[in-house]
Amino acid sequence: MKVQIKTKLLTILILTALIPIMVIGWVGYSSTINISQIAAKANRNIADLAMTDSSAALSSELKTRLQALTEGYAGDINELLQQVQSDTVHLADFANYLYTHSKTLQRYAYPSTYEPAPENKMFGSRQPNENSWLGVFGNGVDKKGNVSKTTLKEIYFTEYMDIVFKSVAKTNSYAVQLYINTANQLSRGMPFVDGQFKWVDATIQFAKIQDVTAFDFYYLADAKNNPDRGPEWTELYWDPAGLGWMVSSIAPVYLKDKVVAVTGIDITLERIIKSILNLQIEDSGFAFLMSERGQAIAFPERAAEFLEFHGSLKGVFKENEAFKHSLTEVRDAAFQSIIKAMQQGQHDLTTYTDPKNGQEYFFAYHAIPVTGWSVAIVVPAKEVIAPALLTNQKIEQSRETTSAMLNERSASLVQTFLWLIVGTVLVLILIALLFARTISRPIQLLAEGSRRVGAGELDHRIQLRSGDEIEALAVTFNQMAIDLKAKIDEIETANQELLQLDQLKSKFISMASHELRTPLIAIQGYVDLIREGKGGAISPEQHKMLDTVSRNATRLARIVTELLDVSRIEENKLVLEFAPVSLQTAIQDIAEEQQPYFASRGHRLTLELENDLPPVNGDTDRISQVIINLLGNAIKYTPDNGQIMIRAYAEKEQVHIEVHDTGIGIKPEDIGKLFKRFSTLGDITKHRTGKNEFMAGGTGLGLSIVQGIVQAHGGNIWVESEYGKGSIFHVTLPIATELTVSTTITPIAQPSELITIDHAVVADTKAMKIVDTDAVPAFKVLRFEQEHKPQIALPAEEKLSVLIVDDEPDVITFTRDLLEENYTIFTAQTSATAIKEAINKKPDLLLLDAWIPGISGYDICRTLKRNSHTRDTPIIIFTAATQAIDEERARAAGADGFVTKPFRREQLVELIERFRESP
C-alpha cells in the first residue's frame, strides 16, 4: 500500500502529541480495570469455596447412603435366592433317589391318566387333576404320539415328584413352577399362581417342542456346562404362561456319572426386584440388577437410555429366547471397567462421566454371592449438589452486579479520555496540513515527472524551484532522462540493423537452399543413370564410388531441407494439414517400412502401444517425422546391440509418446541446449559401425524442428536423461475432437518432409513389430482425382510425346536423358515457349516446373486447361518445393499430377503410364 509523504508527516505529528496523553489515560484505565478484576475474583473465590464445601458435604452423605442401599438390596436378594437354590437341590436329591430305586418302586398312589396327542407330536396328561402336568416331546414319541415302555416306566416313577413339588411350594412362596426335565424328552411340572396350584395341559402349552434338552434350563446343568454338578441359574426368559420375565434355579440328576434329568424352580422377577425397580434416588437416580455373565436382569424404564437398551421386553419361550442385553457391549471403556468389576463379585462406590454429554454420575454396586449377580445404583452428581448450586447462583448474581457497577465507572472514564483525544487530533490536523504541504508539493511534481518519463515522454522535464535537496534531485532526474533518450535511440538503431541482417540471412538461406536442389537433382539423377548402365558398363569399384556420391547427395538434400525448414520457421510460413491421426498405425507403419536397416546396429526395439489408442489431431506426415527423428537419435546415440522402446498411451485429453533408449545419455548442463538450432551433443564415434559411416555428425536442427512440430500441434516435448545410462523423450499431443480436415499456417518450427536418419534394430518376437527408422529423402508422386480425368488414347507399343518445361537447362537435359528411352521428348525453357509448344505440337503429356520466371507453372497450367486445344492434355507439375501448400496450389491450378524433386525415374514413368487409356 502506498502512503503519501503528507500522510506520513501528519501521522508523525499526531502520534508525537497523542502518545503521552494515551499513556496517562491507559494507566488510569488499567487501574480501574484491575480494581474491577480483583473484586470479581474475590467474589468468585467466595462462591467456589461455598460450592466446594457444600458439595463435599452432600457427596459424603450420599455415598454413605448409596453403599448402605446396595449392600442391603444385595443381601435381601441373596437370602431369597439361597432358599430357592436349596429347594432346587432338594428336588434333585429326591429325583436321584427315584432313578436309583426305580425298579423297587410301586405305582404312585394318585396316578394321572396319559394319552397320545399326535396332532401336537406329544404324549402327556390331558385330563385336569391335582397332579403335575406331563409332556413327552420330540424323539420321545412316535408318529402316533405313543411312547416306549422304558419312557412309560419313567413317567410312572416320576409321578412321585408331586410329593416334593407340593412340599416345597408350601414353604417357598417365590416358586411359581417346580419341574423336572429328563434326557428322554420327558418334562413334568407343577405351576403355582399367587401360591395356588394351577393345572395345565402340557400337550397344548408346549406343543411341538422338538428337544427339551436344547433349552438353557436343561443344558446349563449338564456335564459340559456344569462339571462341578452343583446348582446353576439361567438367564432371563419369558414365561410361557404369561407370568412375565423369570429365571430358573436348576440342578442336575446323575445316574452312574450320566445326567438323566434336571430339576428346577422358576421364580418371577417381579416379586424379587419390585423394590429395585421402584427405587429412586434424588430426581432421576435408579438401580439395576445384572447377571454374572453381564446380562441386564432388571432395570426401570427410565434407565433404558443410560444402559443403551433399545429392544423389546417381550420374549418367545418356544424359540428358547432369553432376555439379551449385555452390559459388556455398551458405552465406553470406563463403563466397561465398572461392569467387569461387578462380574468379578466386587463392591465399590465410584464416579462415571458420560462421554456424550459430560454428565457425572455416582455409581455404587454390590455382589449377590449365591448367583454371582450384582446390584447397582446410579445417581447424577448434579442432583446431589443441587442445593450447593443454588447458593452459588445467588453469589454469582451478586458478583455480576458489582462487576457491572465497576464497568460503568470504567466506561465513563474511557469516554472522557476519548473526547480529549478527539479534540487534540483536530487541532494537530490543521497544523500538520499546513506544514506537510510545503514538503509534499515538490515531491508530487517529482513523482509526476517520473511517471511521464517512465511512460515514454523522454522530452519531458521537471520544473521545480524549492531551493532544497528535492530541487537537486529534480535536476539529476532531468539529466538522467536526457541520457536515457540517447541510449534508447542507439539501441533502436542497432536493433533495426540486426533485424535487417536477420531478414537477409533468412532470405539467403531460403534462396540458397532452393537453388541447391537443382544441382542435386542432376547429380542424383545422373548417378542413378550411370549405376543403371545408361552411360556404359561400370566396374564394381566405380559402382562403390557412385554409391558414395549418392549417399552424400542424399545427406546434402537433407541438410538443404532442414535449412528450408529453418527459413519457414523464421518467416512463419509453416503449413499443417490437420486431421485425425492414428498414432498406433503411424508407429507400426514406420517400423515395417524401415525394417531392412535394423540389423546394421543390432538394436532391439520394443513397442508398447495401448489398445484402442485414440487418434490425435494433427498432420500425419509431420507427426511421423517427429517419431522418425526421435527414434533416429535413439539409434544414433545408443551403442550397438542396445535396447530401444516406444510407448504410447492416453492420459486425460492427450496422447503421451515415450521414446526410451540405453544410449550415452545427456549431461544435465546440456539438456537446456538440446532443442536449440545448430546444437549437437554427444560423441557418436564411440559406437559407429562400418555399416553406417554416414552417422558421424548432423546439422543440429532435427530436435529444434521436432519441437516446432509438437508445439504447432498444441503439444509439448521434454526429455529425461541420465548421463551414461540413456534417455527418455516425452511427447504429448491433443486427442482429436473433430473428425474434420483443416489446413493451418502455423508460425512455429516444423521439420520438412525430407529427413535422413540412420537406424538399425534387431527383429523381436511375434508379438512385436520390427522397426526400421532409416529414411531416404522423401518425394511425392501423385495423381490428382480431378472432376475431368484426361486419358491418352495410344496403344502401349507406341511412344508418348512429352513436353518438358523448366527454366534450368541441366534439369531439362537430365529429364530428357531419363525419359527419352521410353518417350518422344519436346522441351521449353520459358513460359511463352511452353504455351506455344503445347498448342502447336500437341504433346500427349506436359511435365511442367512450378516456378518459372515470368509466368509461373501454376499460371501456365491454368491457361492450358482453359484452352480448348490443350484442355484434355494431362499436366504433371514437378517442383523442388515440398510443402503441402504447393501440392494444393497444383491441384487448384487444374494439374493432373504432382511430383517433387528429386524424383526416381521408375516412379515418374509409372505415373505417366497411368494416363494411358486402358485397352
Secondary structure percentages of the chain, helix, strand, coil, to 5: 50, 20, 35
Tell me the C-alpha to C-alpha distance, in Å, between residue 263 and each of 98, 102, 260, 792, 824.
13, 17, 10, 123, 131
Of 709, 605, 599, nearest to 647 by C-alpha is 605
CATH 3.30.450.20 domain span(s) along the chain: 1-457
Give residue 709's pLDDT band: very low, low, confident or very high (50, 70, 90).
Answer: confident
How many whole angstroms separate alpha carbon 900 and alpha carbon 557?
Answer: 13
Of 775, 763, 842, nearest to 802 by C-alpha is 842
CATH top-level class of 574-682+697-734: alpha beta
For residue 463, what are the contacts with CB-CB under 8 A and spacing of at least 6?
445
Cβ proximity of 574 and 568 under 8 Å? yes
Determine the pLDDT at residue 654: 93
Give residue 205's pLDDT band: very low, low, confident or very high (50, 70, 90).
Answer: confident
Exposed (0-12), middle (13-18) or buried (19+): which is 103, by Cβ within 10 Å?
exposed
Instruction: Look at residue 467 and tell me whether its pLDDT is greater than 80.
Output: no
Domain 1-457 has CATH 3.30.450.20: yes
Question: How far is C-alpha 737 from the geometric centre of its chain's CA atoms?
Answer: 26
Q: 655 in helix, strand or coil? A: strand
* Cis peptide preceding 902, ω within 30 of 0: yes
Type of residue numbered 839: I
Instruction: Look at residue 431 and tell me whether its pLDDT is greater than 90.
Output: no
Q: Which residue has the higher pLDDT, 688 or 402?
A: 402
Most confident of 45-54, 154-163, 207-216, 758-767: 154-163
- The CA-based angle 344-345-349, given to 5 degrees, is 105
Q: 778 in helix, strand or coil? A: coil
Instruction: Look at residue 85 and tell me whether its pLDDT is greater than 50.
Output: yes
CATH 3.40.50.2300 domain span(s) along the chain: 780-917
Cβ proximity of 368 and 347 under 8 Å? no
Per the listing, cell 484491575 goes with 34
CATH top-level class of 780-917: alpha beta
pTM here?
A: 0.40
Residue 777 has φ and ψ, to the nearest 5°, of -55, 125
Give residue 84's pLDDT band: very low, low, confident or very high (50, 70, 90).
Answer: very high
Give exposure, 424-459, as e/b (b: 16+ Cβ within 10 Å): eeeebeeebeeebeeebebbebbeebbebbeeeebe
Report pLDDT digits (tens) over 765-812: 222 232 333 333 446 788 888 777 888 888 888 899 999 999 888 889
Determine the pLDDT at residue 803: 96
Longest CA–CA span in the chain (Å) reads: 153
**Considering the chain, what percentage of its residues have pLDDT values greater than 70?**
79
Which is it for strands 114-117 and 654-661: parallel, antiparallel or unpaired?
Answer: unpaired
Determine the pLDDT at residue 777: 41
Instruction: Look at residue 573 and tell me whether its pLDDT is greater than 70.
Output: no
Across the chain, how many H-helices and E-strands are there? 19, 29
Q: 781 in helix, strand or coil? A: strand
Q: What is the mean pLDDT of residues 875-892?
A: 84
Report pLDDT digits (tens) over 339-367: 999 999 899 989 999 998 889 998 999 99
Cα torsion at 57, 59, 62, 64 (round to 10°)?
A: -80
Which is it for strands 286-290 and 259-268: parallel, antiparallel or unpaired?
Answer: unpaired
Instruction: Look at residue 429 and tell me whether its pLDDT is greater than 50.
Output: yes
Type of residue numbered 114: Y
Strands (E), 864-911: 875-879, 897-900
* CATH number of the domain located at residue range(s) 460-572 in this protein: 1.10.287.130
Cα torsion at 114, 119, 120, 123 (round to 10°)?
A: 20
Q: Which residue has the higher pLDDT, 751 or 295?
A: 295
3-class DSSP string for 167-195: HHHHHCCCCCEEEEEECCCEEEEEEEECC
Cβ proximity of 415 and 34 under 8 Å? no
Instruction: Look at residue 244 and tell me whether its pLDDT is greater than 70.
Output: no
How many whole angstroms separate alpha carbon 895 and alpha carbon 857?
Answer: 10
Tell whether the torsion through CA atoms of 512, 517, 522 and 528 is positive or negative.
Answer: positive
Of 760, 915, 755, nearest to 846 by C-alpha is 915
The mean of the pLDDT values for the chain is 80
CATH 1.10.287.130 domain span(s) along the chain: 460-572
CATH 3.30.565.10 domain span(s) along the chain: 574-682+697-734
Instruction: Look at residue 574 and tell me whether its pLDDT is greater than 70.
Output: no
Report pLDDT digits (tens) over 843-878: 999 999 988 888 889 999 999 999 998 999 999 998
